[in-house]
Amino acid sequence: MPTVFFFCDAEGRVVEARAGEFEEWNLSPGTFLYTALSLDCPGDQPLPQRFPPQADHALTGPGGQSMNLRIVPLPSRLAPAGGFLATLEFGAKLGILSAPTTSDDPEPSAANLDYAVFNAVFNDARDAIVLTDDQFRVLAANRKAHALYAADDEPLAGTSLRRVLPAADEARVLASARSLKNGASWRGQLATMGTDGQETPVKLKVRCLSVGKVRLFQFMMRDLRGRIALERDLAQSRLAVADMNTALKQVLRNVEEERQELKDELVQQVREEVLPTVERIAMEDSPLVRQAYRTALEEKIADMGVATPESASLFARLTPREMDICRLIQQSWQGRAIAEELGISFETLQTHRKNIRRKLGLKGGPISLSAFVQQHPPF
């Protein structure tokens, strides 16, 4: 492969370049090599620290060409102040997602078929897939990745993957990727950034792929927005069910309260109106008088189950506050909710309900106040 040599000082500035046929790489003395190579060296970190010496590092040049960088420290007798020799071996552009060359044979070759299958799977995958070089420069991206991270028809190839990583997670993700050995993978979860600043929560999987001296990274990002929306809807459904359960329990409590209220009123009415008559019958000597008392007692007991009279005239007996309570009961409001709405205590509400039942002729009867206002709406 064609090779270019750069003699650099300890800071990475070019002292001398030997580019041979590559005239564009005859860099002027004093030029920082990492700047010429469009490399990312945080804080002007010297190249030997960013790229360990005596090792091959696959890069993508500014023009998209494949390069192999190797750094060799210079001995102190040649560079007393420190320095290194950087060699660049140039190859053709990476053929990622490029159809293989074909012969004049009209029949598709196995290589072409393999490419077609790979390209279809790659482009139609439901996850966003991005392939990068060792500097995390994008070499290829599928349709899902372009939909999430590219504006209009803007290609992702040639851009830096850092554009989609949030600042808080960038160092962690890239450091984890660099530490991977060939074939190993790393997983994480984060919110990636779209071109419009929109955050997309993703489940990330990074895999290291090495082909010879070329070291690549595959980033697979699963969009979690649909899953998060489903989980949110499920949580809301659970809250709705919990609210309905609470409302049902309140209805059952109110029914029990009204049942107990009816029972108490019936017991009170028996004590006040029936027992005295029974005592008089027991003390009376005359059969005729006892029969008269018995007849009166039977009529009184019968009156306890008699249907209520017309509601219109009965509702006219209620006060405005009692009418408000009846209106809310008719609208299926529950006891404590009515008290809170009217700004009164629950005990005060119960007193109003007893007064309403008495005025409507329901006291001691089998019909509940709620059933009565539903059957005879005065509003």
* pLDDT above 70 (res 212): no
138-141 and 128-132: which strand pairing? antiparallel
The per-residue pLDDT for 187 is: 93
Do 3-93 and 228-375 come out as alike in CATH topology?
no
The per-residue pLDDT for 306 is: 46
* pLDDT above 70 (res 362): yes
φ/ψ of residue 191, rounded to 5: -110, 110
The per-residue pLDDT for 96 is: 45
* pLDDT above 80 (res 217): yes
* Average pLDDT score over residue span 221-237: 88
Compute CA distances 216 → 58, 186, 220, 312, whole Å. 8, 14, 13, 86
Compute CA distances 55 → 32, 48, 68, 124, whole Å. 20, 10, 10, 37
Architecture of domain 228-375: Orthogonal Bundle (1.10)
Which region among 37-51, 213-227, 313-327 has the lowest average model confidence (pLDDT)? 37-51
For residues 267 and 107, the model is more confident at 267
The per-residue pLDDT for 348 is: 92
Strand order, beta sheet including 3-9: 14-18, 3-9, 83-93, 65-73, 56-60
Q: Which fold has domain 3-93?
A: Beta-Lactamase (3.30.450)
Q: What DSSP line would sit under 215-244, residue for residue?
A: EEEEEEEEE-HHHHHHHHHHHHHHHHHHHH
Give the burial class of 162: count Cβ atoms within 10 A of its Cβ; 0-12 exposed, 13-18 middle, 19 or more buried.
middle
Which region among 114-118, 148-152, 223-227 has the lowest average model confidence (pLDDT)? 114-118
* pLDDT above 90 (res 186): yes
Q: Which residues of 76-89 are buried (b: 16+ CB within 10 A; e: fewer)?
A: eeebeeebbbbebb
* Average pLDDT score over residue span 252-274: 74
**Residue 375, SS3 per DSSP:** helix
Q: What is the pTM of this model?
A: 0.44
* pLDDT above 70 (res 367): yes
pLDDT in tens, 38-80: 776 665 667 887 788 877 777 776 666 677 888 888 888 878 8
Which region among 109-118, 150-159, 171-180, 266-275 has the lowest average model confidence (pLDDT)? 109-118
**pLDDT, the chain, mean:** 79
> Could you tell me the residue ranges of all domains in the chain?
3-93, 116-223, 228-375
For residues 316 and 150, the model is more confident at 150
CATH of 116-223, one of 3.30.413.10, 3.30.450.20, 3.30.590.10, 3.40.50.300: 3.30.450.20
* Average pLDDT score over residue span 108-126: 57
Confidence category of residue 146, pLDDT binned at 50, 70, 90? confident
For residues 83 and 140, the model is more confident at 83
The per-residue pLDDT for 3 is: 80
